[in-house]
Amino acid sequence: MPTFNDLVDAARRAREHAVAGFSHFKVGAALEAKDGTVITGCNVENATYGLTICAERVAMFKALSEGHRAFTRIAIVADTADPTPPCGACRQILWEFGGDLEIVLANLSEIKGHHWLKDLLPLPFDARLL
């Protein structure tokens, strides 16, 4: 099973692939599936701006498309002194497909934060309410 440091390192490496020519804000994510597989993602921007997809959703959609259905942790990395938490859209997608994930926020040199997704997305809307 990967350690937290393994996950953070994977997110740092994924960040290098960011397609962030508009914001120049590169983000990497590394999602751990229940079986220990690590699936990474980076943000991908395009000329419409609005169709940009964050690193966290890229990681989750890659993981789902590869057959993973249960997840434990996600590391998110940006090159900033303050940690970069997942945006609202990512919180929703991570919650619906990953449940109460453990979230570690890091920059290029250190871990800056540790959270549970249920604390970042109180009163969530999900399939149980349909």
Taking the complex as a whole, the smallest distance from the CB of residue 4 to ligand THU amounts, in Å, to: 18
Taking the complex as a whole, the smallest distance from the CB of residue 56 to ligand THU amounts, in Å, to: 6
Catalytic site includes residue 56: yes
Position 98 contacts ligand THU (CB under 6 A): no
The DSSP bridge partners found for residue 29 are 41, 76
CA 83 to chain centre: 13
Radius of gyration of the chain (CA): 14
Position 20 contacts ligand THU (CB under 6 A): yes
Coil, helix or strand at residue 16: coil
* Catalytic residue of the set 16, 32, 56, 102: 56
> Is 107 in contact with 81 (CB distance < 8 Å)?
yes
Looking at residue 17, its amino acid is H
Q: Which residues bind ligand THU (CB under 6 A)?
A: 20, 23, 25, 27, 43, 45, 52, 54-56, 76, 84, 86-87, 90
